Chain A
Amino acid sequence: MTTSLDQAVETIAPKPSLSGGAAAVLGAIRSFRSSSGTLPIGLSLLAFLVLMSLVSLIWTPYPPTATGAGAFSSAPSAAHWFGTDAVGSDIFSRTISAGRTDVFYTVIAVAIALVIGSAWGALAGFFGGWLEAVTLRLLEVVQAFPSLLMALLIISVLGPGTLNVILVVAIIPIPDFVRLARAEVLTKKTWQFAEAARMVGNRPLVVLFKHLMPNSWRPLLAYASISAAWVCGNIAALGFIGVGIQPDAVEWGSMIARGESDVVAGAWWEALFPGLGVLVLAIGFQLVGDGIAARNRGEQR
């Protein structure tokens, strides 16, 4: 019975067979990701994007919102490095200006999630009781929804808009921070230095936030960076389906949406460059997160 089932499974979904070369490359990527060497690369990618965003504040080749800066849907050239879109806006100017929006909102949203999630999880882990029980049940309910579906649900209640988008993409990763902070505090609250901190007469909240939490900031920071990769993806996704920051904002997701219909006509540059922006930002955050996590593991050994 089991063999026939196995065979059936195999015929329906043949095992992915990798040639030796591809397996070696995957293995190399995996071992690279678990080394702290990813940290400088991730940091340089993020620094590059931040630099471009800052440059866009003082200089862009053309005004990013100007239509008719060049011919409609012209391919990349010396005058328009990334080409122009259907209304003749310069893609390069728009891409680096949009970076400002995406990078900034990602950082804000992750900071909100990190602070609220960590504090909540720390309190739940430290005091236990009904707070912990209610928290855990609530998290299970929230995490039962796929994150983008959850985002759409909340957006449809709150309505689109800058503040709402930031709130929504911040709310989604909060459960993960709550779980992580709770686990950190649970493993550390019985350590003797926590007891010693109580011994000298500190209030419970002081023991928690001044003595315990400083021992947990590194795993939380590593996770914050990894979750930032998802947050910037979510911001762009909401922008892409048109419920993002503002319908006409200079933002990578909405730029991709604008250029998407022209891709079939051969104007690949309209969607590619903002897409690369999201990709580089996400990879940058992911590599930084991997790097911090690898460094934490290294020091525990």
Chain B
Amino acid sequence: MTANEPRHLLSVRGYSGGFRTPSGFKDVLDDVSFGLRESAMTAIVGETGSGKSLMALSMMGLAASTFVKTGGSIEYAGDDISTYDDRAYRRIRGGEFAMAFQEARAALNPVISVGKQLIDACRAHQRVSVAQAREIAEEMLRKVRVPEPAQRMRQFPHEFSGGMAQRVMLALALICQPKLLILDEPTTGLDVTIQADIMELIVDLVSSSGMTACLITHDLGVVAETCDDVVVMYRGKVRETGPCAQILQYPEDHYTQQLLRSSRFEELSA
């Protein structure tokens, strides 16, 4: 792992933290370390409550205000971004890091047209006119394979199906051409056939742009098909990390073995 260090776009080292609650401090992340290889797709897998989404939000600097870091660092471009305040983080958010949320329809503003949301996001980071931003937004919707983008831009989120909304969410995340794309369970809650379409789209977009991607999921089948590296998390700790092929074929950790068995992935790959 240390040999690959220079090629890591982002490295999490010994990251720990927890929530302030009325009943006291509650540790959630415990000494989490992993790296995201440049231009690779890394999966963070684990069950509900393993801390994977919180880790993703921490990378974006969007963790809830009751979350307190107790140790470790998140290194990006030679800086520990986990010490940034909101103002400093805004330079990274959107422009360099972007995130696609789990519930795409809840992540789009119900009272603003989809086109306006894309145009605003575009203009938040690039010095372009509204007309230029509109063209970029339309092009982006075409890229995420939304049919009839010009008409769709005038519509509101409630007029989109779950799959279409997730495509718009991806367009929103990608419109500022980020270096790192974090995907927080992008296919959860979608039909199985649409899940496959969306994953295929994500893989296409990531591989064609040379972007670094981090996929948060609990679906090991998806991980096996799409990811290069995998980080297995359980109860706030990293249990195992390494290249996908190795971890899924020869899991060393007991929890990883259990996880693989429970997802019936062994049968499929055997």
Contact with A193, one of B95, B98, B107 (Cβ below 8 angstroms): B107
Contact with A199, one of B62, B86, B106 (Cβ below 8 angstroms): B62
Which of chain B's residues 95-122 have a Cβ closer than 8 Å to chain A? 95, 98-99, 101-103, 106-112, 120-121
**B residues in contact with A201, CB < 8 Å:** 90-91, 93-95, 121, 124-125, 176
User: Is the beta-carbon distance between B176 and A200 smaller than 8 angstroms?
Assistant: yes
User: Is the beta-carbon distance between A214 and B112 smaller than 8 angstroms?
Assistant: yes
Given contact pairs A199-B62, A201-B90, A201-B94, A192 touches B103 in the complex (Cβ within 8 A): yes
A295 interface residue (CB < 8 Å to B): no
A203 interface residue (CB < 8 Å to B): yes
Which of chain A's residues 209-248 have a Cβ closer than 8 Å to chain B? 210-211, 214-215
- Interface-central residue, A195, A204, A211, by most chain B CB under 10 Å: A195
CB distance from A186 to the nearest CB of B (A): 13
Q: Which residue of B lies closest to A191 (CB)?
A: B106
Please report the C-alpha to C-alpha distance between residue A216 and residue B102 in the assembled complex, in whole angstroms. Answer: 24
CB distance from B227 to the nearest CB of A (A): 22
Give the number of residues in B that approach A within 8 Å (Cβ atoms): 29
Given contact pairs A211-B112, A214-B112, A196 touches B90 in the complex (Cβ within 8 A): no
**B residues in contact with A200, CB < 8 Å:** 93-94, 98, 120-121, 124-125, 172-173, 175-176
Please report the C-alpha to C-alpha distance between residue A204 and residue B62 in the assembled complex, in whole angstroms. Answer: 12
Q: Which residue of A lies closest to B93 (CB)?
A: A201
A257 interface residue (CB < 8 Å to B): no
A198 interface residue (CB < 8 Å to B): yes
Given contact pairs A200-B94, A200-B172, A193 touches B124 in the complex (Cβ within 8 A): no
Please report the C-alpha to C-alpha distance between residue A149 and residue B175 in the assembled complex, in whole angstroms. Answer: 56
Given contact pairs A192-B101, A192-B103, A204-B86, A199 touches B109 in the complex (Cβ within 8 A): no
- How does the 8 Å CB contact mask read for A150-186 relative to B, with 1 for contact and 0 for none? 0000000000000000000000000000000000000
Please report the C-alpha to C-alpha distance between residue A198 and residue B99 in the assembled complex, in whole angstroms. Answer: 10
Please report the C-alpha to C-alpha distance between residue A201 and residue B123 in the assembled complex, in whole angstroms. Answer: 10
A202 interface residue (CB < 8 Å to B): yes
A197 interface residue (CB < 8 Å to B): yes
Q: Which residue of B lies closest to A210 (CB)?
A: B120
B60 interface residue (CB < 8 Å to A): yes
**A residues in contact with B125, CB < 8 Å:** 200-201
Q: Which residue of B lies closest to A218 (CB)?
A: B111
CB distance from B182 to the nearest CB of A (A): 9
**B residues in contact with A199, CB < 8 Å:** 60, 62, 93-94, 98-99, 101, 173
Given contact pairs A191-B106, A201-B94, A196 touches B101 in the complex (Cβ within 8 A): yes
Q: Which residue of B lies closest to A197 (CB)?
A: B109
Chain A residues with CB under 8 Å of chain B are 191-193, 195-204, 210-211, 214-215
Q: Which 3 residue pairs are nearest across A and B when measured between Cβ atoms?
A: A201-B94, A200-B94, A200-B121
